Chains A and B, each alone.
Chain A
Amino acid sequence: MTEEIILDVQNVTKQFPGITALSNVSIQFKRGEIHGLCGENGAGKSTLMKILAGVYPYGTYDGSVFYEGQELKLTSNSIKEARAEGIAIVYQELTLVPDMTVGENIFLGKEITENGVINWDKTYAECRKILEHYKLDVNPNDVVKHLGVGKMQMVEIAKALSENAKVLILDEPTSALTEAEIDKLMEILESLQEKGITSIYISHKLEEFFRITDSITVLRDGKTVITAPTKELSLEKLVSYMVGREMKERFPHSTRKPNGTIFEVQNLHAIDPEEPSREILKGVTFDLKRGEILGIAGLMGSGRTELVTTIFGEMGKITSGKMLLEGKEINIKSAKDAMEKGISLVPEDRKKQGLVLIQSILNNLSLPNLYSFSKTWRIDKNQELKSCLQQVKNLSIKISNIENEVNSLSGGNQQKVVIGKWLMTIPKILIMDDPTRGVDVGAKYEIYKLMNELAEKGVSIIMISSELEEVLGMSDRVMVMHEGRSNGILDITEATQEKIMALATGIA
Chain B
Amino acid sequence: MESTSVVTSKGTTNAVGKWFRRNLQTSMIIIMMIVIWIFFSILTKGAFIGSQNISNLFRQMTVTSILAVGMVLVIVTGGIDLAVGKFAGFVSVIVAFLQAFVWYKLIPDQPLLAATLSVIAGLSVGILVGMLEGYIVSYLGVPAFITTLGFQWIWNGAILLVTGGRTIPANQPYFSYIAQGYLPLWLGWVVAAVVIAALFYTMFNSRAQKRRYGFATNKLSLDMAKTIALSLVILFYVYMVNQYNGVQVPVLLMVIVAFIMAYLGTNTPFGRHAYALGGNMEAARLSGINIKRNVFLIFVLMGLLCGVAGIVLASYVGYGTISAGGGYELDAIASCILGGTSPLGGSGTVFGAIIGSLIMASLTNGLQLLNVTPAWQYIVKGAILVGAVYIDVYFKKNR
Contact = CB atoms under 8 A, between A and B. Distances in A.
A296 interface: no
A314 B215 contact: no
B213 A385 contact: yes
B300 to A, nearest CB: 16
A385 B273 contact: no
Given A356-B346, A381-B4, A386-B213, A367 B284 contact: yes
A500 to B, nearest CB: 28
Given A357-B279, A363-B272, A367-B276, A379 B267 contact: yes
A105 B376 CA distance: 45
B288 A368 contact: yes
A363 B271 CA distance: 12
Interface of B: 3-7, 209-210, 212-215, 267-270, 272-273, 275-276, 279-280, 282-290, 346-347
Contact of B287 (A335, A352, A358, A382): A335
Nearest to B342: A358
B267 A356 contact: no
B290 A358 contact: no
A357 B283 CA distance: 10
A363 B2 CA distance: 13
Nearest to B272: A370
A354 B279 CA distance: 12
A412 to B, nearest CB: 18
B283 A377 contact: no
A370 B267 contact: no
A383 B214 CA distance: 11
Contacts of A356: 275-276, 279-280, 283-284, 346
Interface in A438-465: none
B272 A379 contact: yes
A359 B348 CA distance: 12
A367 B5 contact: no
A356 B282 CA distance: 9
A221 B157 CA distance: 66
B207 to A, nearest CB: 11
Nearest to A352: B282
A347 B286 CA distance: 8
Interface string A258-282: 0000000000000000000000000
Contacts of B346: 356, 358-359
A421 interface: yes
Interface in A398-443: 401-403, 421
Interface in A147-190: none
B213 A359 contact: no
A118 to B, nearest CB: 30
Interface size class of A (residues with CB under 8 A): 35 or more
A333 to B, nearest CB: 11
Which of A354, A356, A371, A378 has the largest count of B CB atoms less than 10 A from its CB?
A356
A377 B270 contact: yes
12 contacts: A339-B288, A352-B280, A358-B346, A371-B269, A374-B268, A377-B270, A379-B267, A382-B4, A382-B215, A385-B213, A401-B7, A403-B5
Which of B272, B285, B290, B347 has the largest count of A CB atoms less than 10 A from its CB?
B272
A70 to B, nearest CB: 30
B104 to A, nearest CB: 41
Interface string A324-367: 00000000001110110000010100001111111100010011
Contacts of A354: 283, 286
Contacts of B6: 385, 389, 401-402
A368 B270 CA distance: 12
Given A353-B282, A367-B287, 4 more contacts: A345-B286, A353-B286, A363-B272, A370-B273
Contact of B268 (A355, A368, A379): A379
Nearest to A402: B6
B272 A353 contact: no
A78 to B, nearest CB: 16
Interface string A309-322: 00010100000000
Please name the 10 residue pairs, one residue from A and one from B, whose CB atoms are nearest each other, closest first: A356-B279, A370-B269, A336-B288, A368-B287, A382-B213, A356-B280, A335-B288, A339-B288, A367-B287, A353-B282
B58 to A, nearest CB: 30
Contact of B285 (A335, A358, A386): A335
A384 B347 CA distance: 20
Given A356-B276, A358-B279, A382-B213, A403 B3 contact: yes
Contact of B4 (A334, A336, A345, A403): A403
B268 A377 contact: yes
B282 A359 contact: no
Nearest to B273: A370
A401 B5 CA distance: 8
Nearest to B270: A377
A338 B285 CA distance: 12
Contacts of B214: 386
A108 to B, nearest CB: 23
B393 to A, nearest CB: 16
A312 B279 CA distance: 22
A378 B279 contact: no
